[in-house]
Structures are given as structure tokens and as C-alpha cells.
Amino acid sequence: MIIPKGAIVAVADGERLNLFRNSGDEANPKLTASAVEDVTNSNKGSGGRHQSSSANPDDSQIDEDSFAAGTAELLNRQVLDGQIYNLIVIAAPRTLGELRKHYHQKLMAVLVGEIAKDLTGHSAQEIEKAVAGA
């Protein structure tokens, strides 16, 4: 997959969000870390189908789903505000599924691609390689 110049690469899991901007060009991408606003984690309705049980005793799945919904809300807002023109989303498979439920139509229009892989905590160079190989 090619990373367009100026594209935002969002790397997320159920607890963390990292944003990178391609400050290089398509032929020679160079991801640089961008500041991340706090993700609102108050959408407890997201993931409401996951009840506390022996399989999920501490409500962690609800918290992760809420974080994914908050991440999508933040990305939607940035797209609608004209801050993101091209977007690549890399997320743990379950988180990516939850994110998709909350994408705005305009976000889907600027979405260059998605990768279902947990790369939070990886370096920008490792992320560049993962995107190039996708």
C-alpha cells in the first residue's frame, strides 16, 4: 500500500492511539509522530452487548470498545474539520471492527486503507514496512 504525502496513519488498539503523518512522499515515506488529543472514552453504549461474566469479569472489553468508539469520533472530527485528507488505519483486529462501526461517511471517503494488525508501540520504521507490505 502506498502512503500518500501528508497522509495520517492512525495506529490503535483498545487502549492507545498513535498518529503519524507522512512527511516524505509516496516513493519515500517518512512517518513522523503527531500529537494526539485525548480520546473520549465515555461511549459506554458501544460494546454494550458484552456483559460482565466469567469470560469478561472486569468490563475491560466494554472499556476497549468505548476507546475504539472515542478514537473513531476523534478521527471523524479531524476529517470533518479538514485536518485529514488521506487516512490509513492500523488496528488490532477486534478494535478495527469496532472502529468501522463508528466511521463517518466522509472518513470512509478519505480512507486509503486499513490493516488489521496490532502495531501500537512499534517504531515509525516498522509501521512504514507494514504499510508497504500490505
- Where do the domains of the chain lie, and which CATH numbers do they carry? 8-36+60-132 (3.30.420.60)
The confidence score (pLDDT) of residue 54 equals 53
11/58 Cα distance (integer angstroms): 25
CA distances from 44 to 62, 76, 103, 104, 109 (A): 7, 18, 17, 19, 27
Specify the pairing of strand 17-22 against strand 31-34: antiparallel
- pLDDT truncated to tens, each residue of the chain (134 aa)? 999 999 999 999 888 999 999 999 888 899 999 888 777 765 544 444 445 555 554 566 777 888 899 999 999 999 999 999 999 999 999 999 999 999 999 999 999 999 999 999 899 999 999 998 88
pLDDT at position 96 is: 94
pLDDT at 53: 53
- Which three cell numbers mark 68? 475504539
Q: DSSP code of 41?
A: -
Q: Sign of torsion, CA 48 53 58 64?
A: negative
| Residue pointed to by grid coordinates 480520546 | 39
Entry pTM: 0.85
What are the grid coordinates assigned to 72, written together? 473513531
**Residue 84 has which C-alpha cell?**
485529514
What are phi and psi for residue 110, nearest 5 degrees?
-100, 0
